[in-house]
Amino acid sequence: MGRRFFVGGNWKLNGSRASIQELLEAWGKADLDKSVEVVISPPAVYADFLRANMPAEFGLALQNVYKEGSGAFTGENSADMALDVGADWVILGHSERRSIFGESNELIGEKTAYCLGKGIKVIACVGEQLEEREAGNTQAVVETQLKAIAAKVSDWSKVVIAYEPVWAIGTGKTASPEQAQEVHASIRAWLSKEVSATVAAETRIIYGGSVKPSNCAELGKQEDIDGFLVGGASLKPDFTTIINAQKA
């Protein structure tokens, strides 16, 4: 059985009840590919509202959680809270959490273990900065990030890996299909070597980095690209085109 195509929408710090309502209407009118797993990640304050109103078959993700279930951690959310509002996924290790908020590989690994232990699935993000790519260090950087995550994973069926070259996030620059495929293939090879051939064959590896309706079909045709984690384009009605990328 092939890997099920996965499309995630990461709204980041964007959205309002009014804009969400517009998206709900667009989703309701669209003929969406039912074979695709769709997971939407709004700001946490809208998680309850979105879960109550979006298509029942869509998954809900929080954009981040902490490694503890409760306590004096102002501004944080827990996996238990995520589950309580109907979320079944969480995004961990996004480049903005790493670069802006200083999250280390170790912390991301700890949060991965915590979430999986609580029964919430993980979209685990990896990716290199522009200077790291230009220095020829893409593979080393990605493998270091993967190692910290893999060390904490007990059930790979609950994990999706998102490769997001940082230089392509929100910049309008997109890794070419060949560049993206090359890194996805190297991630799968690393999983085969360091975890198991079965995990490598079954784990979905999705691409993020300025994915939009105009390039999603070509990216989605690559052998080791199993879907997308979409930023800005997921806030627009034609996000439905990306969901339907395999139909193109």
| Residue-by-residue pLDDT tens, the chain, 248 positions | 589 999 999 999 999 999 999 999 999 999 999 999 999 999 999 999 999 999 999 999 999 999 999 999 999 999 999 999 999 999 999 999 999 999 999 999 999 999 999 999 999 999 998 888 889 999 999 999 999 999 999 899 999 999 999 888 777 777 889 999 999 999 999 999 999 999 999 999 999 988 999 999 999 999 999 999 999 999 999 999 999 999 87
Q: Which of 128, 132, 164, 184 is catalytic?
A: 164
AA letter at 33: D
Tokens 């940082």 map to which residue? 166
Q: Give the separation between CA 57 and CA 114, rounded to whole angstroms.
A: 25
Output the CATH code of domain 6-247. Answer: 3.20.20.70
pLDDT at site 167 = 84
User: Contact 105/144 with Cβ under 8 angstroms?
Assistant: yes
* 94 catalytically annotated: yes
User: Contact 191/124 with Cβ under 8 angstroms?
Assistant: no
Q: Which of 94, 96, 103, 128 is catalytic?
A: 94
pLDDT at site 34 = 96
AA letter at 123: I
Domain ranges of the chain: 6-247
Buried (b) or exposed (e) across 9-23, using 16+ Cβ within 10 A?
A: bbbbeebeeeebeeb
Tell me the chain's radius of gyration from C-alpha atoms.
Answer: 17
* 164 catalytically annotated: yes
Please tell me whether residue 29 adopts helix, strand or coil conformation: helix
Size of the chain, expressed as the number of residues it contains: 248
